[in-house]
Amino acid sequence: MQLFILLDIDGVMVPAVPWKPLKFLQDGFYDFEPNAQQHLTWLLQKTGANIILTTSHRNRFTKNEWDNIFTTRIPSYTSALSIDEYFVLNNISIDPFANRLQYIKTWCKHAHQHHFVILDDDASLENLLPSMKQYWIRTSPSIGFNQSAAEKAVEILQKEQ
């Protein structure tokens, strides 16, 4: 069974702190918050999971560009797909104007053969069914992906194995 991390960026890897200017790297994307970067590196090393991008930025870059973005920031990175690419590859249809909640619900309905965790700060995910919500780790937008969230993510992924 494959392991997947459904990953949002804003509020997870890049804290949403309005008074702090965002730093961009040469690849044109935000620099990840160092603690979030460290914890995602650890999570990937510990689990070998692949990344499914659910972020609103997911279609701004090609797969190769995302590979470059993650390789630069996360040493243990191996693979990422946007959730849209995953749906196309697996013949899963979804309204192209669907919101994040609809994308996540669709993923959950079709992910029977995968183990996954959802890392996201989006409050709309409170509307997930309890059977789906158990895979969601809601990060604090101003803190991002921290040690507690990383440890919980490992628990969720290992519980499913």
Q: What is the pLDDT of residue 113?
A: 74
Parent domain of 102? 2-159
Strand partners, 119: 7, 137
Question: Residue 14 is part of a domain; what is its CATH number?
Answer: 3.40.50
Decide: 80 and 59 in contact? Cβ < 8 Å: no
pLDDT digits over 121-136, tens only? 999 999 999 999 999 9
Could you report the per-residue pLDDT of 66-119, keeping only the tens digit for each? 999 999 999 889 999 999 999 999 999 999 899 999 999 999 999 877 899 999
* pTM, to two decimals: 0.95
Q: How does residue 160 score in pLDDT terms, banded at 50, 70 and 90?
A: low
Tell me the pLDDT band of 161, cut-offs 50, 70 and 90. low
29-35 contacts at long range (C-beta below 8 A, 24 or more positions apart): 29/57, 29/61, 29/69, 31/73, 32/73, 32/74, 33/144, 33/145, 35/144, 35/145, 35/146, 35/147
Count of the separate structural domains present in the chain: 1
**What's residue 129's pLDDT?**
93
User: Pairing between strand 114-120 and 80-82?
Assistant: unpaired
pLDDT at res. 49: 95
